[in-house]
Structure 1
Amino acid sequence: MNVTIDKNSGYCFGVEFAIQMAEDELDEVSELYCLGDIVHNSMEVQRLYNKGLRIIDREQLEELRDCKVLIRAHGEPPATYETALRNNLELIDASCPVVLKLQNRVKHAYDSIKGHNGQIVLYGQQGHAEVIGLAGQTGNEAVVITTEEDLDKLDYTRPITLFSQTTKSTKGFYRMKELIEERVAAVKATGLEVFDLDANDSICRQVSNREPQLDKFAQHHDVVVFVSGKKSSNGKALYAVCQRVNPQSYFVENADELDMEWFKDATSVGICGATSTPMWLMQQVADAIQAQHPVEA
């Protein structure tokens, strides 16, 4: 049996940058605080915990004084920086540049639209760290939509400016855009004055380009094992791509979750993962499979 790791899987630039910053800092100190999981992968969080990275939540942040805190790639709302100033915290800001640019765009759009009774709408996962940071740019007035049912929250007689969480599915974003436009048109047909939708595709292309790449990868293997943390929004979206093109696709968090029955009749197995999946973890999964199904001479 041949076991192949997808060369396009693994950390995106933002996650890689944040982890490198954490490791560089931990070379100098024995303990470093991080606001939230540095990455949505429990195995990597544990590896860095062993090096001295301590995960805290926002309530714990309020209690800290005179120490260093890492801001992960997801970015943070303005309130976090205000807390840091108040508590004399040194922030090691590893916010992804793509996320920071989007935060600025959302803030500018909010400042422009609020005088016209407009709405900032964020297509993303409610409660996701990146979405919290984006909503914070609007004083938490942004409307977060995840499913079609969430579209009932919007007022279609008011201006709507739409953005997306950077790691959401491109297909999902354009579907939401289409549905909003349909509702705007329906209101316009009643004779009411309405405004055209201002839609902004803010999905990271380093992430979205993985969908077509993964589509091809999954088709070329009898069985696909997708390795990701269960909390990863990006992982769920990319795993759905694998399942769509290859029904023999399985989601695991680590090698312990493998079922060797999956590979009984397979000659080719593909290992892939999310933008939050470290390459060393995919290698562990590949090695575990190969150990049970050695390549025939």
Structure 2
Amino acid sequence: MEVSIDKNSGYCFGVEFAIKMAEDEMEHEDKLYCLGDIVHNDMEVARLKAKGLAVIDREDLKDLHDCKVLIRAHGEPPETYQVALQNNIELIDASCPVVLKLQHRVKTAFDKMQREDGQIVIYGKKGHAEVIGLTGQTQEKAIVVMNDEDLDQIDFQKPVTLFSQTTKSTKGFYALKEKIEARIKAKKGKLDEVDFNANDSICRQVSNREPQLQVFAKEQDVIIFVSGKKSSNGKALYQVCLQENPRSYFVENETEISNEWFEKSDKVGICGATSTPMWLMEKVAKYIKEQDELIPA
């Protein structure tokens, strides 16, 4: 078998930056707290835990004092910074610059919508860490939408400003944009800039993975997609692979791989999500190469 790793897979800049900050900090700290999983990959979380990174939630944060807490790439709402100030917590802020810029844009747009009796709508997953940070910029007044049913929360008689979670599908965003436009026209009989302002705030480093992955998946006989099961990005990108190559398999690590998936002459491609570490894909590739002699000719 010929085994190769997709050169475009692996951490996005924001995740890589956050993990580097955590590792640098832990070189001279016995313990560093992290607000939520630093990345949606259990293998990487376990690796960093062994180095001293302790995962906490927002309720835990309220009980901590005089310590250091890492903010991961997803960003945090204003409330987190207020709690840290009150409890003398030093924040190691690894928020992705793309997310921070979006938070500022959402806050500015929200202030404008408040004056104009309008609404902020965010295309994203309710409860997702990044979305929590974004809705925090709007005093929790933003409307979070994922599907057609969620659109019923919007008052189409009032102005709407739309943003997207940075890791959502570009195709999904523009499909949602068209649906909102159609509903405003149906309700008001017209559509102009006062009625609707759509902002494509998707990170291009993430969205470009789809076309890159389509090409890679077509070039292989078998695709082994490596990702944590909690990764939304992983689930979406795996579907991209599956559409291009029906012999695509989703695994969390090498223990989930079956030799029945392969033939001796196969070209096997290893790829993953923006939350999949390169060391894990390399481990999976090494395992598959070691199985080669067990695959019947």
Please tell me the TM-score bracket, short chain as reference.
over 0.9
Q: TM-score, normalised by structure 1?
A: 0.96
Is contact 1:156–1:194 with CA below 8 Å preserved after alignment?
no
Q: Letter of the aligned partner of 2:32 in structure 1?
A: L
Is contact 1:224–1:269 with CA below 8 Å preserved after alignment?
yes
Q: TM-score, normalised by structure 2?
A: 0.96
Q: Letter of the aligned partner of 2:160 in structure 1?
A: I
> Unmatched 5+ residue regions in structure 2?
none
Quote the residue 2:69 is aligned against.
Answer: 69
Matches within 5 A, 1:18-97: 18-97=18-97
Partners in 2 of 1:144 and 1:179 — Cα distance? 15
In the TM superposition, residue 225 of structure 1 has moved relative to its aligned partner by 0.9
Q: CA RMSD in A?
A: 1.7
Partners in 2 of 1:69 and 1:145 — Cα distance? 30
Matches within 5 A, 1:159-238: 159-189=159-189, 195-238=194-237
Greater Cα shift, 262-271 or 195-204? 262-271
Is 1:246 matched with 2:240? no
SS of equivalent to 2:138: coil
Q: Letter of the aligned partner of 2:201 in structure 1?
A: S
Quote the residue 1:258 is aligned against.
Answer: 257
Instruction: Name the count of aligned residue pairs.
Output: 295
Quote the residue 2:140 is aligned against.
Answer: 140
> Unmatched 5+ residue regions in structure 1?
none
SS of equivalent to 1:137: helix
Partners in 2 of 1:78 and 1:4 — Cα distance? 43
Partners in 2 of 1:280 and 1:246 — Cα distance? 24
List 4+ stretches of structure 1 deviating above 2 A.
Answer: 191-196
Q: Letter of the aligned partner of 1:65 in structure 2?
A: H
In the TM superposition, residue 234 of structure 1 has moved relative to its aligned partner by 1.1
Partners in 1 of 2:70 and 2:283 — Cα distance? 28
Partners in 2 of 1:124 and 1:15 — Cα distance? 19
- Give identity over the alignment, percent: 67
Distance 1:290 1:156, change over 3 A: same
In the TM superposition, residue 188 of structure 1 has moved relative to its aligned partner by 2.3
Q: Letter of the aligned partner of 2:12 in structure 1?
A: C
SS of equivalent to 1:14: helix
Q: Letter of the aligned partner of 1:172 in structure 2?
A: G
Distance 1:229 1:192, change over 3 A: closer
Is contact 1:69–1:91 with CA below 8 Å preserved after alignment?
yes
Is contact 2:185–2:191 with CA below 8 Å preserved after alignment?
no
User: Per-residue CA shift, 1:212-261, capped at 9, x if unaligned?
Assistant: 10010000001111111111111111111111111111111111111211
In the TM superposition, residue 265 of structure 1 has moved relative to its aligned partner by 6.2
Is contact 1:158–1:194 with CA below 8 Å preserved after alignment?
no
Is contact 1:188–1:194 with CA below 8 Å preserved after alignment?
no
SS of equivalent to 1:17: helix
Greater Cα shift, 242-251 or 69-78? 242-251
